[in-house]
A and B are shown apart, each in its own frame.
Chain A
Amino acid sequence: SQQGEEDPQALSIQEGENATMNCSYKTSINNLQWYRQNSGRGLVHLILIRSNEREKHSGRLRVTLDTSKKSSSLLITASRAADTASYFCATAPTAGAGSYQLTFGKGTKLSVIP
């Protein structure tokens, strides 16, 4: 079953606006990761946030993690047309959870209109 569920499924914004995507999950995690996939390409790792971290930044990306609500958000500031892609969250379970798979959600499809 899918561990991470992204919301919304699709998002369309104007260039320069901020884009926020959310991810909810069900079980305890070791870390949560965000990946980007351009059409017809493989996934590219964006950022990893560990369970004891609450916020992390990388360039125009900001990721928050709320383990009490089992949710994370990815904020892309000052979006560009090149940010158009699908964004996936992936959760790594804690040790002893019975599974060590990195489980991916179905993604949010972001369209940035020039």
Chain B
Amino acid sequence: DAGVIQSPRHEVTEMGQEVTLRCKPISGHNSLFWYRQTMMRGLELLIYFNNNVPIDDSGMPEDRFSAKMPNASFSTLKIQPSEPRDSAVYFCASSLDGPEETQYFGPGTRLLVL
């Protein structure tokens, strides 16, 4: 299996622009997670999907952030408009069944908002 796939790996954009991050979870996994990692705050859960349905989005910073999972093999995280404080590494992870089980992380998207 290819593991969790994320794209792009790096993104540099200007403040105010829309950013879309993409994720393909491991086939057969029914849970998908978006995390953000910064030096200051560590690894934070943004949103958790189970069977394509958002279960917990309490970690989404504000309305500028939105996430979708239109099917079991694809999810997006969108930031519109982006701000410099959104600069971070964004990880997508998936697990077989639920957040308490082993999570498999993608390589991350390193986002820099200028």
Q: How many residues of B contact A (CB 8 A)?
A: 21
B interface residues (Cβ-Cβ under 8 A, vs A): 4, 33, 42-43, 45, 48, 56, 59, 91, 93, 98-108
CB neighbours of A105 from chain B (8 A): 42
A41 beta carbon closer than 8 Å to chain B: yes
Interface contact tally, CB-CB below 8 A = 51
Interface pair B105/A42, CB less than 8 Å apart: yes
**Nearest chain A CB to B8's CB is how many angstroms away?**
15
Q: How large is the interface on A (under 10, 10 to 19, 20 to 34, 35 or more residues)?
A: 20 to 34
Query: A102 — nearest CB in chain B belongs to which residue?
Result: B99
12 contacts between A and B (CB under 8 A): A33-B102, A42-B93, A93-B100, A100-B56, A100-B98, A101-B45, A101-B48, A101-B99, A102-B99, A103-B45, A104-B42, A105-B42
Majority secondary structure of chain A interface residues (helix, strand, loop or mixed): strand
Interface pair B45/A102, CB less than 8 Å apart: yes
Most chain A CB within a 10 A radius of its CB, from B99, B100, B108: B100
A interface residues (Cβ-Cβ under 8 A, vs B): 2, 30-31, 33, 35, 41-45, 48, 88, 92-93, 99-107
